[in-house]
Structure 1
């Protein structure tokens, strides 16, 4: 997939199999270890998501939001629209095999509501939290950009 220049693209490799990373991205209990949890029935095309990871950066648990699931192709692709304030974050996650592990490509459509560098810093932190959750390690501290 080639993303338009106005999209933020973040790539990470993990030593874990695609199926394990997929589970950490889609199972509520595992997702809750690094970013937040969801409730509901994903077969309806919508789940209710509560972001909890911000607490570790000095923030608060966000109010639950209804997330639209646009594409779900286990264990390789998930596309969602996540409400954020007055806008919605369009996130496209693709997993592929990379040697014995996997590569995650996260693409976020930019709408100008949050500066690119701030989004990149946030996703860098969250994907480091994903890596820590996969390894059963403590979560990394938030290191805000200078």
Structure 2
């Protein structure tokens, strides 16, 4: 079991609660942008997409959630390469269909690129599983981008271990 840390916080954006977390990379902004937007780079840590982003949407498939996870339609709301990507998707969450808003913002200073990720949390109770999930995936991204073995990042080290942090952060 590895030592993991909850890094997300609750932040109000657009009149609703968002889970917000950051990661830093000693890499140029264009390289980090590629890691979050190019399908083959995403495949190393979270999933793949298909389609033509110029049409305003792609189909995204999680690769590390099991074999029966349905693909999701990601609508591209904003894309200002290499600084901002905002997406809306609908996906099943437990017994219901949920609309998620995701935002990725990148900024580079002194050879370090900071990625700030935000996802809407329509129900505070969702944070106890969504938060650990994103900590897991962004830790996988860090490992992938530094040339490490992403299989060393184990989901069971994140969930339910980090759930209490997110319950407290979102008041659920």
TM-score, normalization by structure 2: 0.76
Q: How many residues align?
A: 141
Equivalent pair of 1:50/1:61 in contact (CA under 8 Å): no
What is the match of residue 86 of structure 2? 79
- Please give the per-residue CA displacement for 1:81-133, whole angstroms capped at 9, x wherever unaligned: 12211012110110001431111111111111752132111111100111111
Higher mean Cα deviation, 114-123 or 42-51?
A: 114-123
Given the alignment of the two structures, is residue 133 of structure 1 paired with residue 137 of structure 2, yes or no? no
TM-score, normalization by structure 1: 0.88
Name segments (4+ residues, structure 1) moved above 4 Å. none
Q: 2:124 & 2:47 partners in 1: Cα distance?
A: 22
- Secondary structure, counterpart of 2:48 in structure 1: strand
5+ long unaligned stretches in structure 1 = none
Q: 1:96 & 1:61 partners in 2: Cα distance?
A: 36
Given the alignment of the two structures, is residue 44 of structure 1 paired with residue 51 of structure 2, yes or no? no
Q: 1:113 & 1:83 partners in 2: Cα distance?
A: 17
What is the match of residue 70 of structure 2? 63
RMSD: 1.7
Structure (1 or 2) with the larger CA radius of gyration: 2
Q: 2:25 & 2:77 partners in 1: Cα distance?
A: 25
Q: 1:70 & 1:113 partners in 2: Cα distance?
A: 24
